[in-house]
Structure 1
Amino acid sequence: MMQKGIQNLALKQVLGFPLQDCRDYRFIREELGLVRSIRGIQDVKDFISIIGQPYRLTEGRVVCIRSGQIRLCVNLIERVLCAGQLVVASSGTLFEVVEISSDCDFCMLAFANRLMEEERPVGLLKTYLQGRLFLSLALTAEEEERLQKIFVLLWEVLHDEPFARETVTGVISVLFHQIDYFRKQGLSEEQPKRTRQEDVFEHFIDLINRYALSERNVSFYAGRLFLSPRYLSTLVRQVSHRTVMDWVNEAVVQEARLLLRHTDKPVYQIADELHFPNPSFFCRFFRRMTGKTPYGYRKEQ
């Protein structure tokens, strides 16, 4: 049976559907969408597959689960999100909804990175804009109530005429500051402060997420971080007990798994998209990393 492959999910795409008028539950523009309840996407399922179809997010998401639960795969890792959980996922995240309980409800914010280009992002918002963040927090009743108030404020501001762009981006910044505060509150007070090496390593991982498919040279990442290749190699090994190339190869093999599992593209095309010199080189690499050939892995799936 032919698979549909990995599809992009974008606000612009949803705007192109002949949807019903649903002003009470959703607000959508090309750069931003806010859904107040699952009722706001009920008619969307007539145009896209909600269950069992892998998507790559064109815009990131902030989702607050109000009731029920959602079972999904995020970058091939299965997760169960329950009532009282908050999820933040950057653009580029690959997800597939496996199951949604009948009593599930949530509110969801989606926005393009370019919406925040006038802001000076710090903390969690900065990490979000750098790509492929997936954060899940269990909220207390008080924390959930406070976030709901921010969602309500954002909903009201979105309906101002004319569109109050600066106010909207300001409320989104407040939302991320509040989420970051809750995240830090959940950390142990005895946890030591982050070192400079850990900060550099975090920036290194951001670069891996963005460039690993095309850049596989230590010098490239060292140059982006204004470090010598030798120092970067030493730092990465000290912080993670792994090498720079271990991280690069892991990102590449994850993308290869996604393409083999969710598309019918021939192996030679996947090898080309992942910038391998030829299919044989790709097959040897994949087998070395996974213990299986690309054909064997695809057959298992």
Structure 2
Amino acid sequence: MRRKELRDLGLQQVIELQMIPYNVERYISSDFGLVLSVKGMSDITEKIFVPEQPYRLTEGRIVYMRSGYVRVRMNLIEARLDAHQLRVVSPGAVLEFVEYSPDCDLTMLAFSSGFMEGWQKENLLSAYIQGRVNMQLALDAKSEHRLESIFQLMWDVLHDEPLSRETMQALISVLFRQIECFQGKGQKEVKRTTRQEQLFARFISLVNRYAVSERNVSFYAGKLYVTPRYLCTLIRETSGRTVMDWVNDAVLLEAKLMLCHTDKLVYQIADELYFPNPSFFCKFFRRMTGKTPNQYRQGRR
């Protein structure tokens, strides 16, 4: 039987998971989704919160952590989202769940970029839609109350008959404006970055974009306007890993996406990932994971 294509994790793919799209805690359509709470929703957590399984987010995510924690890898970088924190991630990010606590509960919003067509977009909202936002903020009690009020108002409007698209667009705009206020009124990012860390973040962004076809240190150094030697030193000092470690991780992630979510044969995947032949790809995959591509695929069925 052919497996369902789920390489992208978007609203449409969630609907196709044969779960109920509407109940007292969630509203999911093809271009808008709001989940007030995941507590007790095993049909979501068991099918989507799968450790070590990569997804590419078709739509971005605004996630408010109510309790517990969740650990993820976002575009190769591991992060932990704890209670009283907010994470905003643009469309196109590659996500892997690592672990979540038994008391994990969160509110999550997703919407298609097309949903905001025709609406004037503030700086943060524009950057979000353009794929340039990946932030995490700590919230105080007042900010949490404000955030919950906005989500609750969204929830109420979603159940109006008929549903007012313009009202929902306005509320999304208000939400992003409020997030900007959180940043500007003492709500500090969880981690302040140095210039070296900013360069590292730009490097990771380039790796996520180009690693499949570009595996040369000089390419990334050129994009960042630094020498290859300086880049190698900076990446090792910042992350404790080499440039090629990160590049190989990105290539491996793409391989896992194809093995998990498509029926492409190993030689086809090797070709799409620019390996000279399937043998090279299999040796690379086994060196990185301890398994052959087919063994990894069988373990995910």
Q: Which TM-score applies when normalising by structure 2?
A: 0.69
Aligned to 2:254: 259
One-letter code aligned to 2:288: Y
Match of 1:229 in 2: none
> Over residues 123-148 of structure 1, what are the superposed CA-to-partner deviations in whole Å (9 max), with x where a residue is unaligned?
22122111263211111111111111
- 1: CA distance, partners of 2:148 / 2:45: 25
C-alpha distance in structure 1 between counterparts of 2:173 and 2:37, whole Å: 22
- Higher mean displacement: 33-42 or 4-13: 4-13
Aligned 8 A contact 1:260 1:297 in 2? no
Contact conserved, 2:7 with 2:56, CA < 8 A, in 1? Answer: yes
Give the distance between the partners of 1:266 and 1:117, measured in 2 at CA: 39
Structure 2: how far apart are the matches of 1:58 and 1:155?
Answer: 22
Partner residue, 1:272: 271
Deviation at 1:66, TM superposition (A): 0.8
Shift of the alpha carbon at 1:98? 2.3
1:75 — aligned with what? Answer: 75
Provide the aligned length of Structure 1 versus Structure 2. 268
Matched, 1:51 2:24: no
Gaps of 5+ in 1: 192-197, 217-232, 284-291
CA root-mean-square deviation: 4.4
- Determine if the alignment matches structure 1 residue 134 to structure 2 residue 134: yes
Q: 2:89 aligns to what? A: 89
Q: Determine the C-alpha separation between the residues in 2 that align with 1:94 and 1:161.
A: 36
Contact 1:70 1:104 in 2 (8 A): yes
In structure 2, distance between residues paired with 1:254 and 1:114:
32
Following superposition, the deviation at residue 99 of structure 1 comes to: 2.2
Q: Secondary structure at the match of 1:160?
A: coil
Moved more, 106-115 or 256-265: 256-265
Contact 1:131 1:206 (C-alpha < 8 Å) held by counterparts: no
Q: Tell me, which stretches of 5 or more residues in structure 2 are unaligned?
A: 193-197, 216-221, 236-242, 297-301
Structure 2 CA distance for aligned equivalents of residues 251 and 114 of structure 1: 33
* 1:169 positional shift: 1.0
1:107 alignment counterpart: 107
- The one-letter amino acid of 2:170's match is G
1:13 CA displacement: 2.2
Between the aligned partners of 2:105 and 2:15, the Cα distance in structure 1 is: 22
| TM-score computed with the length of structure 1 as normaliser | 0.69
Distance 1:77 1:6, change over 3 A: farther
- Per-residue CA shift, 1:76-102, capped at 9, x if unaligned? 322221110101112222222222222
Q: Distance in 2 between matches of 1:99 and 1:28?
A: 24
Percent of residue pairs identical: 43
Q: Give, as a single letter, the amino acid of the residue that structure 2 aligns with 1:259.
A: E
* Residue 279 of structure 1: how far off its partner (Å): 4.2
SS at match of 1:43: helix
Q: 1:209 to 1:255 in 2, by over 3 A?
A: closer
Conserved 8 A contact 2:68-2:82: yes
Are the equivalent residues in 1 in contact too, given 2:73–2:79 (CA < 8 A)? yes
Q: Give 1:141-180 correspondences, 5 Å limit.
A: 141-180=141-180
2:89 corresponds to 1:65: no
Change (3 A) 1:15 1:267: closer
Taking a change above 3 Å as real, the CA distance of residues 24 and 187 of structure 1, as seen in their structure-2 partners, is closer
- Looking at structure 2, the residues matched to 76 and 211 of structure 1 have their Cα atoms a distance apart, in angstroms, of 13
Evaluate the alpha carbon distance shift between residue 41 and residue 258 of structure 1 in structure 2; reply closer, same or farther with a 3 A threshold. Answer: same
Residues 13/6 of structure 1: CA separation in 2 closer, same or farther (3 Å cut): closer
Q: Which amino acid aligns with 1:297?
A: M
Q: Could you tell which deviates more after superposition, 139-148 or 10-19?
A: 10-19
Partner residue, 1:299:
290
Checking the alignment, whether the CA contact within 8 Å between 1:34 and 1:107 is kept in structure 2 is: yes
Letter in 1 for 2:171: V
- In structure 2, the CA distance between the partners of 1:278 and 1:132, relative to structure 1 (3 Å rule), is farther
The secondary structure found in structure 2 opposite 1:34 is: strand
* 1:225 corresponds to: none
Residues 156-177 of structure 1 show CA distances to partners (whole Å, capped at 9, x for unaligned) of 1222222211111111011111
**Maintained 8 Å contact 1:19/1:43:** yes
